Amino acid sequence: AINLNGTSKRCDTVVYSHAAKPIMIVEYKAPHMAITQKVFEQIARYNIVLRVKYLTVSNGLHHYCCMLDEASGRYRFLKEIPAYEALV
């Protein structure tokens, strides 16, 4: 669980580096659920606490991964989910 503005929240999955540093948050939705901007806003709020570079959302049918561009502070969508070795 993470504490976000005094509220306890749970990420579906947090991927950690070998040094136990969080590097990716993954949010899962049911297959019938659309992946919307609201879903990305949810996972971005979790990132206020964890400060990871990668966010991934999946409904089992469609998968989206974005990377935080630290220079601009904006997220850039990737063509595919990077392999673990590329994250660390």
- Provide the token pair at 65: 């991964």
Least confident window among 53-57, 70-74, 82-86: 70-74
Mean of pLDDT over the chain: 93
- Beta-bridge partners for 77: 66
Model confidence band, residue 3 (pLDDT cutoffs 50, 70, 90): confident
CATH, domain 2-76, list 3.40.1390.10, 3.40.50.300, 3.30.750.200, 3.90.1570.30: 3.90.1570.30
Query: Please, what's the b/e burial string for 50-66 (b: 16 or more CB within 10 A of its CB; e: otherwise)?
Result: bebebbbbbbeeeebbb
- 47-50 long-range contacts (CB < 8 A, ≥24 apart) are 48/4, 49/2, 49/3, 49/4, 50/2, 50/11, 50/14, 50/22, 50/25
Q: Which helix (H) or strand (E) holds 20?
A: none
pTM for the model: 0.90
- Please check whether residue 87 is in contact with residue 24, taking contact to mean a CB–CB distance below 8 angstroms: yes
One-letter identity of residue 60: G
- Is the pLDDT confidence value at 1 over 90? no
| Mean pLDDT, rounded, for 25-43 | 94
- Is the pLDDT confidence value at 4 over 90? no
pLDDT at position 31, please? Answer: 97
